[in-house]
Amino acid sequence: MKVYTKIGDKGKTTFFGCGLISKSDPRIEVFGSLDELNSVIGVSLCFIDDEKLQETLKKIQNDLFQVGADLGSTAIPGNNFPRIAEVHVTELEGHIDELEAVLGMPKTFILPGGTQASAFLHLCRATTRRVERNMVNVMDVLVINPNLIKYLNRLSDYLFVLARQANKEVNVKEQQPMYKYFNEVK
């Protein structure tokens, strides 16, 4: 078997359980954004030295494959496929709660950035939000596991607090946006 199938030459691809579909299908869009997120996490791992954070991100990468398997097998009867369960969501919530107990809640918006690790984690968070938006679009054409949206929503929150933690660990102060022309609007 070769890497190239030539199916995509006409703007089509195969979707697990659904046969041949257009590459503009919202399901393909979400698979592409999941791949992009996993790739951004992979790049981030190259710039993060903290071993515990590396293990966390590697676990998230594996979970994202489970998100894809869950979505991909939605139209196939039976329960023989990996699913995102409520336990995935509550696990993220537990991690978020632990970090927020140390960090507190920010009182204003914060600018993405600071350390290299934090900047990459913010990029992962923003990419997760795109995956989440694309998953919501899939709901217009397919009944999906509701835990998929919950997981992605919590994942972006988790990446946000991980980014904040990455700055705090090396005492990099969070920066708030400055609204330069806020008072001059008439």
Burial tier of 117 (Cβ tally within 10 Å: 0-12, 13-18, 19+): buried
Average pLDDT estimate for 28-55: 95
Instruction: Find tokens 């996993």 and name the residue.
Output: 38
Select the more confidently predicted residue: 12 or 26. Answer: 26
Neighbours of 1 (CB within 10 A): 3
CB 132 within 8 A of CB 149: yes
Q: What tokens were used for 178?
A: 């400055």
Please, which residues have CB within 8 angstroms of residue 137's CB and are 6 or more apart in sequence?
26, 29, 30
Instruction: Enter the DSSP assignment of 17.
Output: T
Q: Does domain 24-176 have CATH number 1.20.1200.10?
A: yes
Q: What distance in Å separates the CA atoms of residue 5 and residue 105, rounded to the nearest whole number?
A: 50
Determine what percent of the chain is predicted with pLDDT higher than 70: 92
Q: What is the mean pLDDT of the chain?
A: 89
Mean of the pLDDT values across residues 135-158? 95
Q: How far apart are CA 33 and CA 78, in angstroms?
A: 26
Task: Give pLDDT, residue 45.
Answer: 96
Question: In the chain, count of helices (H) and strands (E)?
Answer: 5, 2
pLDDT for 104 beyond 90 = no
pLDDT tens digits along 74-93: 877 767 788 999 999 999 99
pLDDT of residue 121: 97
β-bridge pairing 12-15 and 19-22: antiparallel
The answer, yes or no, to whether residue 69 has pLDDT greater than 70, is yes
> What local confidence, expressed as pLDDT, does residue 123 receive?
97
pLDDT (mean) for 105-113: 87
**How far is 163 from 147, CA to CA, in rounded Å?**
24
21: enclosing H helix or E strand? strand 19-22
DSSP state of 106: -
Amino acid at 54: Q
Range with lowest mean pLDDT among 42-56, 72-86, 88-102, 107-121: 72-86
Percent of the chain residues topping a pLDDT of 90 = 63
CB neighbourhood size of 41 (10 A):
22
**Domain range summary for the chain, segments of one domain joined by +:** 24-176
Q: Which pTM does this prediction carry?
A: 0.89
User: For residue 133, is pLDDT > 70?
Assistant: yes
Q: At residue 18, does pLDDT exceed 70? A: no
